[in-house]
Amino acid sequence: MTLHPILAALRRHKVAALLIVLQIALTLAIVSNAVFIIGHHVQRMMRPTGMVEEGLIRIVQQWPAAPSGDDDAAIEKLDALQRADLETLRSLPDVQEVAASTSNPLLSGYIDGYVSLDADQKGQSVHVAYYYGDQNLRSTFGLHLIAGRDFSADEIRHGRAAPGSPVIIVSKPVADRLFPNGNALGQTVYQDGKPATIVGIVERLQNPRWMDSDWVYNSVIEPLRQDDAWTGYMVRARPGRTDEAMREIRKALFATNPMRLMPEPYAGIHTFAELRARAYRSDRGIALLMGLICLILLSVTAAGIVGLTSFWVVQRHRQIGVRRALGARRIDILRYFQLENLLIAGSGAIIGVLLAFELNHWLMTHYEMTRLPPHYVAIGTVAILVLAQASVLVPARRASNVPPVVATRSV
Amino acid sequence: MFAYYVELAMRSLRRSPGLTALMILTIGFGVAASMTTYSVFRGLSADPIPWKSDRLFVPQIDAWGPGNRRAGGEPEVAFGYLDAMTLMRQHRAKRQSAIYSISASVMPSSSGRNRSPIPIDGYAVYDEFFPMLDVTFHYGSSWSADDDAHLSPVVVISDKVNKEVFGGGNSVGKMIDIDNREYRIVGVTNDWNPQPNFYYTVDVGYGPDMPDMFMPFPYAVANNIAQAGWDGCRKGEVDPGSDFTALLRSDCVWIGYMVELDDAMAVQQYRGYLDAYASEQQKAGRFHWAPNTRLRDVPAFLDYQHVVPSDTRVSLLVAQGLLIVCLVNTVGLLLAKFLRRSGEVAVRRALGASRTAIYAQFLTEAGVIGVGGGVLGLLFTAVGMLSVGQVLPARLAAMAKIEPDLLSLTLLLAVAATLVAGIYPAYRAARVLPAWQLKAQ
């Protein structure tokens, strides 16, 4: 079949054809960018934390009227309160393990700094987040220790949180950045100028920030029970007993000492699943919204193609009849409309590809958006061409059913 | 005549219910997506203090130097203790206040065993904070400059705390125990809580929590009342964390600062003053870089701080794109619908109807579809607004409200959009040549 008759016929429906071209171009441009945005947010939501998240419970609380400053008496008093809490939590029937812990992945509050190979931070240095906790932190989090050992009980210091412990556990990316040869274990590094020996390496530990960054998995665990107005504990419930453990924890803590504050939403007793849902709520929301908009866009475009093609099928009733009478088979009529649609949708897609990159470029200059990878546009193009072909099938079928006898009737 | 056209339109729309439903749905979806995202955007970009926002300014001074700047060479927003205190002492603006965040507790009034304290969050500020920001009081007023100077233990509490601790009523003059220190209450706010929070410039944004109390900045510092907000330290400097006395001595930044300047002249002078201060520090050898200062008014500052999340802006944009596609689609469908009735047009024209009459008839039909789309759009917008909570964090979702003008705007948008979409199809219909069309049939 040659293209000539199709083009000649389209010239009589210039505006209608242009409308479809325009609609397909806009749809492709918007959908490929929206799908890219969805992919970005979904990818972020899928990031593993490195912890075994099932059964984890986070407790954040505040001691009222806690002294600030670093006099010993105040620190000892806070530490006694904290040890009593840890003891209480450990004694609960549905609690498997307890650790003093200042923060955890996705909690957003964090202390960061730089770990380097030399004291004056001239050479290689790595941006890290510090996690403070006791000897149970690694196992309570469920982190995978790939080299070295855990902290021993006598290595745990207490006091105000500040980096500078003599021994540390680091995440693998930190070890790899500082020691590309893989000999990080047992080496001495400097945390903001203070020396520390790497005694253990965990495979993965996300930092507490929710946002994207180039140091998402750079974490250091410091053996220190932080004595501060704010205290945090991480609890691992016995398998399948999370709800019971949550109830026990609240009751037991307030029974031990009612003088504590848990201002929601950031403090309080929460399962890690809740924290995860909260951290990624807006990511999930944006992905849902963009998904919904894509769905509407594609349906509207498909419906538009059906509507307009039906219109000109009706208009060309006579011509179709004539062609049939002159010997065109049904399949020829069907192919005609399919090819015509491919032509229209194809030119729409070409413009749409250009528009998609243009839109992405505009979004990149005005908002924090990354470059649209070409395969998103490629997949979008294929999808929209298939959609167009599927939508044209209905009116094209109807056209192919026009009987040859129509040619001989005059209305 | 109009009623007749409406009747014609209804009859024509009934004749092809599928196409009609499709057009109404298209318009409804397009309008609802736009209006939902727009109302969220509008809710989030509202001016928290419209009568005064152009006279309130946030200064910034680069106390860290190159290598520690934010993107675009921007200095930190927060101040270290030293710079904030010098600016307060030199007192060059009409009004000014340093501010830091405090997290404390009080005991509730109900008596009983095992009572737990209630958390109260607030700010340490100077006396000028209250008139500068037009803080509204239920009882009493702010403290005086003398109270600041003499380190008086005075406090302004919110009505919410007043109710929780004293059961309400005029509590001015009463004493309140906050974290084991006695304070004299000088004022009870009207639960003052402008949204977004723009006055704690270290951390602006939307939050449901109103400030529960304010206390004098100098008193809070003198009594080591720790700061509870964000603090940042330059690369290589150890973050003192919760050690407040160390924080005061450090170069870390954690204090917000706001000034009131009445006219362009004052703004210019204050800008000059900030630069002069920075170059003085440079001469003294404390800063090793040229002055790098900023002075933004509240709207510019909120914009700079991305108070409206960029996700919200992008969503609005994408939704507008959807509306445009829906309109293009409607143009196509209307064109198909109108041109299919060329015969009818030809008969009407042959019987003496003018082109204007044809225009009127078809635009009326488009308008009727627009009204249908608008009504459906309202329904979808309502559904959209109810599901905003699924998409946005609660503190942001709370800002998007269904307002009466939003409803009328939705209808108006639907009708206007459909009329615009109907112009070209109506033009084509009006141009049908009666003789040619009738002969062809």
Residues A208 and A327 in one domain: no
Q: Where are the alpha helices (DSSP H) in B45-172?
A: 81-90, 129-133, 145-149, 159-166
The DSSP code sequence of B342-370 is HHHHHHHHHTT--HHHHHHHHHHHHHHHH
- List the one residue out of A227, A229, A248, A223 whose CA is nearest residue A238: A248
pLDDT in tens, A158-204: 887 777 789 999 999 999 999 999 889 999 999 877 899 999 999 99
- Kindly state whether B160 is in contact with chain A, defined as any CB-CB distance less than 8 angstroms: no
Determine, yes or no, domain membership for A53.
no
Q: Across all residues in chain B, what is the average pLDDT?
A: 90
Q: Which two tokens stand for residue B195?
A: 């949204």
Those residues whose C-beta lies under 8 Å from the C-beta of residue B145, and which sit 6 or more positions away, are B127, B128
On the 0-12 / 13-18 / 19+ scale of CB atoms within 10 A, A71 is exposed
> CA torsion sign, A208 to B122 to B233 to A187?
negative
Contact across the interface for A304 and B332, Cβ inside 8 Å: yes
B245 inside 8 A of chain A by CB: yes
B184 phi, psi to nearest 5 deg: -95, 130
Write the residue in A64, A254, A255 that is nearest to B105 by C-beta: A64
Residues of chain B positioned with their CB less than 8 A from the CB of A19: 328-329, 331-332, 335
Regarding whether A100 and A152 lie in a shared domain, the answer is yes
A184 and A222 both lie in a single domain = yes
> Do A162 and A300 share a domain, yes or no?
no
User: Do A308 and B333 lie within an 8 Å CB cutoff?
Assistant: yes
Residues of B in contact with A114 (CB under 8 A): 235-236
Residue A155, in any domain of the structure: yes
Determine, yes or no, domain membership for A55: no
Q: Which residues on B lie below 8 Å from A27 (Cβ)?
A: 325
Could you tell me what percentage of chain B is helix, strand and coil, using 3-state DSSP and rounding each to the nearest 5?
A: 50, 15, 30
Using CB atoms, pick whichever of A29, A258, A278 lies closest to residue B116.
A258
| B339 band by pLDDT with thresholds 50, 70 and 90 | confident
Q: Note whether B186 and B154 are within 8 A (CB).
A: yes
pLDDT score, position A155: 93
Q: Considering the domain boundaries, does residue A297 fall inside one?
A: yes
Angstrom CA distances, A191 to A219, A277, B28, B250, stand at: 12, 33, 59, 18
Is there a single domain that holds both residue A192 and residue A318? no
Chain A contact present for B105, CB below 8 A: yes
Say what the pLDDT of residue A411 is.
47
Q: What does residue A165 show for φ and ψ, rounded to 5 degrees?
A: -70, 145
Answer whether B235 touches A (CB < 8 Å): yes
pTM equals: 0.84
Tell me the pLDDT tens digit for each residue of B251-274.
999 999 999 999 999 999 999 999
Q: Do the Cβ atoms of A113 and B114 come within 8 Å? A: no
ipTM of the complex: 0.85
Q: Long-range contact list for A147-151, CB < 8 A, 24+ apart?
A: A147/A184, A147/A185, A147/A200, A147/A201, A148/A185, A148/A186, A148/A198, A148/A199, A148/A200, A148/A201, A149/A199, A149/A200, A150/A200, A151/A199, A151/A200, A151/A223
Instruction: State the Cα–Cα distance between residues B421 and B334, nearest whole angstrom.
Output: 8
Strand spans (E) along A91-239? 95-100, 111-116, 125-133, 145-148, 157-159, 167-171, 188-191, 194-202, 219-226, 230-237
Q: What are the residue ranges spanned by the domains of chain B?
A: 2-45+309-440, 53-304
CA distance A200 to chain B (A): 24
Check CB contact under 8 Å for A192 and B236.
yes
Smallest Cα distance from B7 to chain A, Å? 24
Judge whether A271 lies within some domain. Answer: no
Please tell me whether residues A70 and A21 are part of one structural domain: no
Looking at the structure, tell me whether residues A41 and A180 fall in a common domain: no
Nearest CA in chain A to B339: A311
Q: Determine, yes or no, domain membership for A267.
A: no
Question: Residue A253 sits in which domain range?
Answer: 64-260
Please choose, from the candidates B342, B344, B343, B356, the residue with its C-alpha nearest in 3D space to the C-alpha of residue B429: B342
Do A102 and A228 lie in one domain? The reply is yes
Tell whether A297 and A226 lie within a shared domain: no
| Cβ(A249)–Cβ(A57) below 8 Å | yes
Q: Tell me the average confidence (pLDDT) per consecutive run of 10 residues in chain A, 411 residues long.
A: 76 85 95 93 92 94 75 86 94 94 85 83 83 94 94 90 85 94 90 88 91 87 89 94 94 90 86 92 89 93 90 84 89 91 94 95 86 92 95 91 79 47
Q: Which residues of B touch A315 (CB under 8 A)?
A: 339-340
The answer to whether A81 and A63 have CB atoms below 8 angstroms apart is yes
Six token digits for residue B271: 């800008």
pLDDT at B119 (0 to 100):
86
- pLDDT tens for B10-30 read 888 888 888 899 999 999 999
Spell out which residues of chain A touch residue B428, defining contact as CB-CB under 8 Å: 15
Question: Across the interface, do A286 and B22 touch by the CB < 8 Å criterion?
Answer: no
Alpha-helix runs per DSSP H in A136-224: 137-141, 172-178
Q: CB-based burial of residue A58 (10 Å sphere; 0-12 exposed, 13-18 middle, 19+ buried)? A: buried
Residue A56 lies in a domain: no
Domain tally, chain A = 2
Count Cβ–Cβ pairs < 8 Å, chain A vs chain B.
Answer: 176
* pLDDT exceeds 70 at position B110: no
